[in-house]
A and B are shown apart, each in its own frame.
Chain A
Amino acid sequence: DTGVSQNPRHKITKRGQNVTFRCDPISEHNRLYWYRQTLGQGPEFLTYFQNEAQLEKSRLLSDRFSAERPKGSFSTLEIQRTEQGDSAMYLCASSPRGSGEETQYFGPGTRLLVL
């Protein structure tokens, strides 16, 4: 069990460019979550998947954001036409199936800086 991995760990981009992040969950975890953490704040929920189905999207997730989880394994989060306000740490977490009592295991995050 190698834990949740995220790539890249850091990304610097210019405003208006598109970026894509990848998350590889712990194998056999069927739930996958994306969170965003800005400086000095706690992480905020963005979206989550049960297998390949995207079950909920936060109002924080504007139309420029899209997430996929093809085949219920890894997931990608794409941000189109990036804005400076998108600069943040993007965290991925996974958990085994079921209830809210299941622990979510977090990856190291991808830190995005939009210039």
Chain B
Amino acid sequence: GDSVTQMEGPVTLSEEAFLTINCTYTATGYPSLFWYVQYPGEGLQLLLKATKADDKGSNKGFEATYRKETTSFHLEKGSVQVSDSAVYFCALTGRDDKIIFGKGTRLHILP
């Protein structure tokens, strides 16, 4: 069945460092791909999405490109801030539009 695999955390970086969180997927057909973020004490929020191959989703300085050839959707940010500390979930929409999530990657940014 459809699945998402993302790098395990926690990931700890210093402020202004470059961030990459790897995500690969297995799916039949052509899923839409998402990154969701969960800040401490808050609900899940959509960070960015891409709906077809080679699309780039971007928001709040984060980017991810839908790579069909490598079945990947890696999350990147050029300069992280302390406020980016959160849990990040890679996800896809599978059959019948339900979301299939990865296990999440906890990110800690040190000042």
Residues of A within 8 A of B (CB): 31, 33, 35, 40-45, 48, 55-56, 91, 93, 95, 99-109
Chain B residue at minimum C-beta to C-beta distance from A102: B97
The complex places the Cα of A101 from the Cα of B93 at a distance, in Å, of 8
Give which listed residue, B32, B43, B51, B96, contacts A106 with CB less than 8 A.
B43
User: Is B103 part of the binding interface, using a Cβ–Cβ cutoff of 8 Å?
Assistant: yes
List 18 other contacts, CB 8 Å, given A33-B99, A41-B104, A100-B97. Answer: A35-B99, A40-B103, A43-B44, A43-B99, A43-B101, A45-B98, A48-B97, A48-B98, A56-B96, A91-B43, A91-B44, A93-B99, A101-B32, A101-B93, A104-B46, A104-B99, A106-B43, A109-B43
Decide if B49 is an interface residue (CB 8 Å cutoff). Answer: yes
Are B101 and A44 within 8 A (Cβ)? yes
Cα–Cα, bound, A56→B35 (Å):
24
Q: How far is the CA of A103 from the CA of B59 in the complex (A)?
A: 15
Q: Which of B32-55 contact A (CB under 8 A)?
A: 32, 36, 42-46, 49, 51
Q: Contact between A56 and B98 (Cβ–Cβ < 8 Å)? A: yes
- By a CB distance below 8 angstroms, the chain A residues around B101 are 42-44
Interface residues of B (CB under 8 A from A): 4, 31-32, 36, 42-46, 49, 51, 89, 91, 93-94, 96-104
CB distance from B18 to the nearest CB of A (A): 25
For residue A56, which residues in chain B have a CB less than 8 angstroms away from its CB? 96, 98
A10 to B29, CA, bound (A): 38
Contact A100 B49 (CB under 8 A): no
User: Can you give 10 contacting A-B residue pairs, CB < 8 Å?
Assistant: A33-B99, A40-B103, A42-B104, A43-B89, A45-B99, A48-B97, A56-B96, A91-B43, A91-B44, A103-B49
The interface residues of chain B lying within 8 Å CB-to-CB of A99 are 97
A61 to B44, CA, bound (A): 22
Closest to A43 in B: B101
Across the interface, name the chain B residue whose C-beta is closest to A47: B98
List A contacts of B36 (CB < 8 A). Answer: 106
